[in-house]
Amino acid sequence: DVKVTQSSRYLVKRTGEKVFLECVQDMDHENMFWYRQDPGLGLRLIYFSYDVKMKEKGDIPEGYSVSREKKERFSLILESASTNQTSMYLCASRPQGSYEQYFGPGTRLTVT
């Protein structure tokens, strides 16, 4: 079975802190994605990566950056967390040539 793991299920951070959300997949997938989910807005794509060291902006990249130094790991970075970044963050991966995305369990981030 494909497994996508995220470093924390729940995280509480203070305004202005630098926050790292980690995502690891164990199936050698080329493509990885970060979404945020907010009530009434569905899932919105923040960034995605189709190869090591490659990244592309999604629909809402402002305030975020990403890092993909190894194929299995895709990190989302909040350089200076703000309260409007309080949300559920979902990571996903997808193999090349397939359309199905496999999701991690999500990280619920609260910024106070």
Partner 1 sequence: AQKITQTQPGMFVQEKEAVTLDCTYDTSDQSYGLFWYKQPSSGEMIFLIYQGSYDEQNATEGRYSLNFQKARKSANLVISASQLGDSAMYFCAMRETNQAGTALIFGKGTTLSVSS
**Which stretches of the chain bind partner 1, using CB under 8 A?**
31, 33, 35, 40-45, 48, 50, 56, 58-59, 88, 90, 92, 94, 99-106, 108
Give whichever of 69 and 97 is closer to partner 1, judged by the CB atom.
97
Instruction: Please report how close the Cβ of residue 5 comes to partner 1 at its closest, in angstroms.
Output: 11
Instruction: Please report how close the Cβ of residue 92 comes to partner 1 at its closest, in angstroms.
Output: 8
Helix, strand, coil shares, percent, the chain, to 5: 5, 55, 40
Give whichever of 75 and 93 is closer to partner 1, judged by the CB atom.
93
Give whichever of 90 and 111 is closer to partner 1, judged by the CB atom.
90
Instruction: Please report how close the Cβ of residue 50 comes to partner 1 at its closest, in angstroms.
Output: 4
Question: What are the Cα distances from residue 60, in Å, to 26, 28, 34, 57?
Answer: 27, 26, 10, 8
Instruction: Please report how close the Cβ of residue 77 comes to partner 1 at its closest, in angstroms.
Output: 19
Rounded to whole angstroms, how far apart are CA atoms 19 and 78? 5
Rounded to whole angstroms, how far apart are CA atoms 87 and 37? 6
Tell me if residue 89 falls in helix, strand or coil.
strand
